[in-house]
Amino acid sequence: MENAIKLIKNAQSGVVFTGAGVSVESGIPPFTGAGGLWNQYDPKFIELDFFYADPKRSWEEMKKIFFTCMDEAKPNKAHEVIAILERRGGFQGVITQNIDGLHQKAGSQNVQEFHGTIQRMHCIKCGRKYDTAEVDLEQVPPTCFCGGVLKPDFVFYGEGIPPGVYEKSQEMIWAADLVLIVGTAGQVMPACSLPMIAKQNGAKIVEINPRPSAYTDITDEYVPQKATEFFAALEKNL
């Protein structure tokens, strides 16, 4: 831990790269692994083709699984200290695979939401955009003024990564001298390739994860801890 904290404090253009593990302690279950959503539900309801074919059924499942737990969740110590790292300098910002918006709620400014967000929606007919907070989710599926169905702005299976986010994430990774990996198994492409690119470009890698991941063998420092425990200790050292 001491070596990891030293690398973090000395970073000049660090990037925090987060996965589901950083939000588990806020009450949001991961998608895979122990207690993962896909162990309990069939993920076909967020396949793009399924959504277009049966938006009502897709929305029934999304509302039940995503919108209750994520709407009620609050940032934890890890989110809060990650925001502090950006404010104090030395870190460019966050690249997250999460769709919950907790990094922004904690105060992070530069957040690249690689897999999109649950906080916004758009009409699949006219393209009009909505903040999720203004949408009445009692009606399923929710619809636009034009009558079109609304789709959440997170990436469905069969859908590409938002181009602007992908480009900005790559720019951050190429400029990084340190990547701080938090709570991800490193199994989802193309997101999982980003820390590998940074490593090949000479960046140091620090990983915080209770269990080893696909990244552990390339890390300069691996800390097998829960995210909140590590960041509470880091905060005392900043």
Whether 103 is catalytic is no
Q: How far is CA 102 from CA 8, 28, 113, 152, in A?
A: 21, 11, 11, 17
Distance CA 215, CA 152 (A): 30
- Options 79, 103, 115, 122, the catalytic residue: 115
Q: Concatenated DSSP letters for the chain?
A: -HHHHHHHHH-SSEEEEE-THHHHTTTPPPSSSTT-GGGTS-GGGGBHHHHHH-HHHHHHHHIIIIIHHHHH----HHHHHHHHHHHHSSEEEEEE---S-HHHHHT-SSEEETTEEEEEEEETTT--EEEGGGS-TTSSS-B-TTSPBEEEEEPPBT-PPPHHHHHHHHHHHHH-SEEEEES--S-STTTTHHHHHHHHTT-EEEEE-SS--TTGGG-SEEE-S-HHHHHHHHHHH-
Tokens 């492409």, located at residue: 189
Active site residues: 115
